[in-house]
Amino acid sequence: MMRLDHLAVAAESLEAGRARVEAALGLRLQPGGQHAHFGTHNLLLGLEDGLYLEVIAIDPDAPAPAYPRWFDLDRFSGDPRLHNWICAVDDLDGALLRHPGAGQAVDLARGDLRWRMAVPGSGVLPMDNLFPALIEWQGAAHPAARLAPSGARLSRLVVSHPEAAALKAMFGPELQDARVVFETGPTGLRAEFETPHGLRVIE
């Protein structure tokens, strides 16, 4: 089974991403950290139901890797936007047998957090990056449990794609989450949140 784990807003810089998310949600992001393997860094926002939101960008102070970065960040440009969704699985190797296009398992760490993530060799996920990145956490540690409550809850994640029906069919019975909605339309993601300030949206 796949479980919605977190959402990623990509940005050309963390400060641009911070400004975009904090203005959209009316909530303050918290420090994240560096991902040495891919030369990126992030900021975080804790959500209800064990989810979290991250802003991720290339770390200008980190050496560039000799391979494509995750989340297709090497090609990212423009305004910060909701760029990827990430689903947790208990058996990443088994999930990759069913979804080989999701990439190859990469062992990663940040501080004492340990996880394995499926990353395509090109950095580009299937279906124009709208297939979710797959993650398998190692141990009980999870970022969401360490973040201060924000009072925000994801109410709906709209995955829009010209071939939305084909994208949805790729999951079969693995993804059972009423919050995730597939719609036929231009490629993109839209997240709707219930917050202390009312309904807020990030696209």
Whole-prediction pTM: 0.96
Mean pLDDT by 10 residues, the chain (203 residues): 97 98 97 95 97 98 96 97 98 97 95 94 97 96 94 98 97 94 98 97 98
Q: Identify the CA nearest to 73 among candidates 85, 98, 56, 91.
A: 56
Angstrom distance (rounded) from CA 201 to CA 2: 24
Q: How far apart are CA 9 and CA 156, in angstroms?
A: 16
The two three-digit tokens of residue 177, written as one number: 């989450």
Sheet holding 198-202, edge to edge: 180-184, 153-161, 188-195, 198-202
The predicted pLDDT at position 23 comes to 97
Q: Which tokens belong to 88?
A: 């947790």
Residue 158, pLDDT score = 98
C-alpha 48 chain-centroid distance: 16
| DSSP-derived 3-state class of residue 94 | helix
Smallest CA-to-CA distance from 133 within 180, 83, 181 is with 83
pLDDT at 111: 85
Q: Which amino acid is at 137?
A: W
